[in-house]
Structure 1
């Protein structure tokens, strides 16, 4: 059955991308054609012409590259599309600041890690992605036995990060998670002490 062989989901996608370095001093324009997640052909303003990644893409690139009008138009987009739109999007992509929310929680013990558990610092919903998180015991920084996830995008132009202190907390000591971020005028700290009724 020919119809059954041809049934399925087929996705054709075009992506238009602009990359900016130091404002509009250095701008790169990319146009990508993708079929079922496979790159077919791409225009890169740094290269100046189309490049194919499949036999069909190579044939298409050769055809488009031989068209002077198409090449003049495509090369102009680094200015008419990217630089032209930069001022409109600049406040959102370069000046946007969202401060993180920070909390400390006690991760319950497990069979492999008995005892009172481990402290987890959750740093949520911040932008941009660059951030520094440090653990302290009193005034002493705890640089060892600290494990962090990668900075994870939330999908809404904010990010999150989890930082675990692997050494179990001790009674009578204060632990602090300190966060530095461009949105904060000064480092933000959250403190934690073992409650009196915690398991000994």
Structure 2
């Protein structure tokens, strides 16, 4: 024998809360109390006898009428407040395996520090939902009420292709989309930018050095010509008379 108590409501303000308590024996319901009619209804001979006894007990019926508020409304409000405590996920999209020519790469979309547990991570390629080559972990508990999840997409980089990760969670008013801008990882883009800046700096230094060298060469040539002896000083005869 066992008793099953349950609460029903279709509105968030709980004004239509209904309490139902059922009694079972050998998995067969023989007695039920419904707060909408505020009385017991029995099935079979034993159920009808129990219903008659309980309905005639004024003190018990008064206690049972308060069950809807005591058991249902209070716990439902606590549950609603509990569900109102949410934490937005921190989403990061990264390349976890370097891509090689003719070999697929691996993108990982990670969501951290979110609550409650339920979350949805979806991949899109050029606006179309990707269902193949997708794998994901379960929601992993951090041990501090927060959760994390990691979803992977295996793909072959294509020029101009837009790949995005979309996260849906109770804490978000609308789905959060993170776009993978290119097939080059952010760290690699940083290295390329630093390399380009270094190359430009090197060219500027080289140009300045070349200009300085040419200027010094011209000054040395002019000074050398001004101080050099004339070639006619060593002639064996006087050519000025010719």
Q: State the TM-score, normalizing by the size of structure 2.
A: 0.43
Larger Rg: 2
RCO greater where, 1 or 2, for CA within 8 Å and sep 6 or more? Answer: 1
Q: Which has a greater percent of helix? A: 2
Q: Which has a greater percent of strand? A: 1
